Amino acid sequence: MTPILVGRWQTRTFLTVFIGIPITLIFGLAVLNMVTPLMILLVAYGQGLMLDVIYNLVQKQRWERDWNPLLFTISGLIEALLLLFLIRIDVIPFVPTDLAFHLFFVHYTAVWGGMFIFAWGGMKVLFPWWRFRGGSVLGR
């Protein structure tokens, strides 16, 4: 896919709302805590929007101007590490600094995995123009 910044933001927003929130709600029900997983998802979404600016600059330096699954995976790992760092230094409200790593890992992996699968499959089915219009969900 050859996303532009606005297309990245639209795709991230779409995936967060329609994939991330449902998975997070299921996870929250499973661990009997809705606030912490939703707060983590919100912060992950916000940091992702900011990092998309950097990703967009990196993408412009690539000869094919594409963002392939490997780069998608690397960016997911970077975002996970940054999010875990923010949790550990206690800057995310309603998220304890001693959050069990396995809970973070399962939640983040489930949300990221769902988004990855949908981004590389479902998006192309629901929005056939998505890939060719810079990742725009709105078709512009």
**Alpha helices (H) along the chain:** 5-15, 21-31, 35-61, 69-88, 101-119, 122-126
Name residues whose C-beta falls within 8 Å of residue 1's C-beta, 6 or more positions apart in sequence: 66, 67, 130, 131, 135
Report pLDDT for 26: 98
How does DSSP classify residue 34?
Answer: S
Chain centre to alpha carbon of residue 119: 10
Q: Is the pLDDT of residue 59 over 70?
A: yes
**33: DSSP letter:** -
Q: Strand, coil or helix: what is 92?
A: coil
Distance CA 85, CA 107 (A): 16
User: Distance between CA 40 and CA 53 in Å, rounded?
Assistant: 20
What would the pLDDT profile of 63-111 be if each residue is shown by its tens digit? 877 788 999 999 999 999 999 999 999 999 999 999 999 999 999 999 9
Domain boundary assignment for the chain: 5-133
* Mean pLDDT comparison of 3-7, 9-13, 120-124, highest-scoring range: 9-13
Average pLDDT value for residue range 8-31: 96
Tell whether the model's pLDDT for residue 3 goes beyond 80. no
Name the one residue in this structure whose structure tokens are 């809970």. Answer: 103
Averaged pLDDT score across all residues of the chain: 92
Distance CA 73, CA 25 (A): 23
